[in-house]
Amino acid sequence: MAEPAAISAEQMRLVLSVSRLLAVTADIDTLLRRIAEAATSLLNAERASIFVHDAATQQLWTRIALGADEIRVPQHAGIVGHVFKVNEALNIPDAYADERFNREIDRKSGFVTRNLLTTPMSDFNGKPIGVLQAINKCGGPFSVQDEALAQLLADQGGVAIQRYQLQQAAIQSVEMKREMELARKVQDRLIPEHPPHVAGLEAVGWTLPASITGGDCFDLWRLANGQLGIFLGDASGHGLAPALVVSQARTLIRALSEIDCNPQWLLSRVNARLVNDLEDSRFVTAFAGCLGADGVLSWWSAGHGPIFLRSSRDAPLQMLNPQSPPIGIDPDMGSEPPATAPLEIGGQLVVLSDGIFEAPDGKRDQYGVERVIELLDRCRHDTAAATLACIRKAMLDWQGGNEEPVDDQTVVIVQRTS
């Protein structure tokens, strides 16, 4: 399959403008209309529609339909129903050649559909909740790059719809605790249920929030090129506001990594999106990395550190320092290439949030970086899972058996196994 062309500055501006609107407005119709308008502009299409799933009627209906009347179809009927069912994008260069295409809509409206690009919109758990459809690419069929751009916009739409659903549920609740619990449920869905399978690598992660919702987030996922994607973010403070900020950063990282898995580029794009929206006292430290079965780690840290790397089982532990300030501090993160580091068999990458380093004991003494180094040296011959268990036990012992930390605690460990 042909590689997608690089995304242009104007295309990125449109994507980021949609993401910015997602942060500053709760009006679902305004958000979805902006996403549909961006789809027509980015994809050079004549029309775009956003279908939302109605569980009560088991239908998909056009909450937004640019240039058309409202359309309702059974949830598994036609092209949008197929995409909703299989939860995969569908690029159709000739609509009338596809038997799933409903010609009746064209017949009634007088509009002629030539080609279609239909993309699922999913919630944080990967469950489809709607569909974005672009119609009639000007000058020919939709391209591979169009598919990537459409998925970026569909991901934004999924976040908007699920946030709206969460807000509606919270409004019906008379207790703040209920609202926080719903937010925690959404945040929990950001955490990978099972580590992705990447040949020759073992990856594990764990997080423990200091309140019902936390400002930490991690992610481990398999990239399109077969590499392992690694992310750990820590928003200042803890609670609902930092949880929303770090969740948004994670969503952007996952979406943009389908276009380019360059860690520096990913974090700089997230920074460009958040720097104008965060309050002066808010920021996010973040680590992003891409690691292949060959053991070559490409990484970048925005204010998050130290990062611990042991290049092989018997090598000394290295501390890697961040290359740029945290996200939200400076609009220009630079354009330097990401750092690289080799991981041989048995080598480990360990990324921790400051809730580990700064964990207090009964005397209010912090655990500190030196104790972390001693701990990792004691566990140097363990698997990634065993190292994680070692860290968790050390935290519990240090905190006197208290399972509720003062600050959010998050750990990501990746080890090369073969």
Of residues 301 and 7, the one with the higher pLDDT is 301
Decide: residue 260, CB within 10 A, 0-12 exposed, 13-18 middle, 19+ buried: middle
Q: Which residues sit opposite 340 in a β-bridge? A: 298
Q: Are 405 and 366 in contact (CB under 8 A)?
A: no
Report how far residue 133's alpha carbon sits from residue 89's, in angstroms, rounded to the nearest whole number: 10
The model's pLDDT over 11-27, given as tens digits with 9 standing for 90+, comes to: 767 776 666 666 656 67
Task: Identify the residue whose tokens are 């974005």.
Answer: 132
DSSP 185: H
Task: Identify the residue whose tokens are 């993309």.
Answer: 119
Q: Are 215 and 222 in contact (CB under 8 A)?
A: no
Report how far residue 187's alpha carbon sits from residue 349's, in angstroms, rounded to the nearest whole number: 25
Decide: residue 177, CB within 10 A, 0-12 exposed, 13-18 middle, 19+ buried: exposed
- Per-residue pLDDT at 184: 61
DSSP 189: T
Q: Is the pLDDT of residue 187 over 60?
A: no
Q: Is the pLDDT of residue 1 over 50?
A: no
* Residues whose CB is less than 8 angstroms from the CB of residue 365 and which lie 6 or more positions away in sequence, other chains included: none
Decide: residue 59, CB within 10 A, 0-12 exposed, 13-18 middle, 19+ buried: middle
Q: Is the pLDDT of residue 123 over 60?
A: yes
In the chain, the amino acid numbered 206 is W
The model's pLDDT over 237-277, given as tens digits with 9 standing for 90+, comes to: 666 677 778 888 888 898 899 888 899 999 999 998 888 87
pTM of the shown model: 0.62
Q: Is the pLDDT of residue 206 over 90?
A: yes
**Torsion angle defined by CA atoms of residues 157, 161, 167 and 171, in that order, rounded to the nearest 10 degrees:** 150
Q: What domains can you pick out in the chain, each with its CATH number?
A: 9-169 (3.30.450.40), 191-416 (3.60.40.10)
Report how far residue 243's alpha carbon sits from residue 239's, in angstroms, rounded to the nearest whole number: 6
Which pairs from 245-249 meet CB under 8 Å and 24+ separation?
245/215, 245/274, 245/278, 245/282, 245/284, 246/215, 246/216, 246/217, 246/284, 247/124, 247/186, 247/187, 247/190, 247/217, 248/19, 248/22, 248/23, 248/159, 248/274, 249/217, 249/274, 249/284, 249/286, 249/327
* Residues whose CB is less than 8 angstroms from the CB of residue 192 and which lie 6 or more positions away in sequence, other chains included: 205, 219, 220, 221
Quick check: helix, strand or coil at residue 128? strand
Q: Is the pLDDT of residue 183 over 60?
A: no
Work out the pLDDT band at 326, boundaries 50, 70, 90: very high
- Per-residue pLDDT at 68: 77
Work out the pLDDT band at 2, boundaries 50, 70, 90: very low
> Which tokens sit at 98?
């596809």
Q: Is the pLDDT of residue 226 over 70?
A: yes
Work out the pLDDT band at 334, boundaries 50, 70, 90: confident
- Cα–Cα separations (whole angstroms), residue 413 to 230, 314, 360: 10, 17, 23
**DSSP for 294-342?**
T-EEEEEEEB---EEEESSTTSPPEEEPPSBPPBTT-S----PPPEEEE
Of 387, 393, 378, 391, the C-alpha closest to 415 is 387
Report how far residue 282's alpha carbon sits from residue 305's, in angstroms, rounded to the nearest whole number: 18
- Per-residue pLDDT at 86: 95
- Per-residue pLDDT at 23: 60
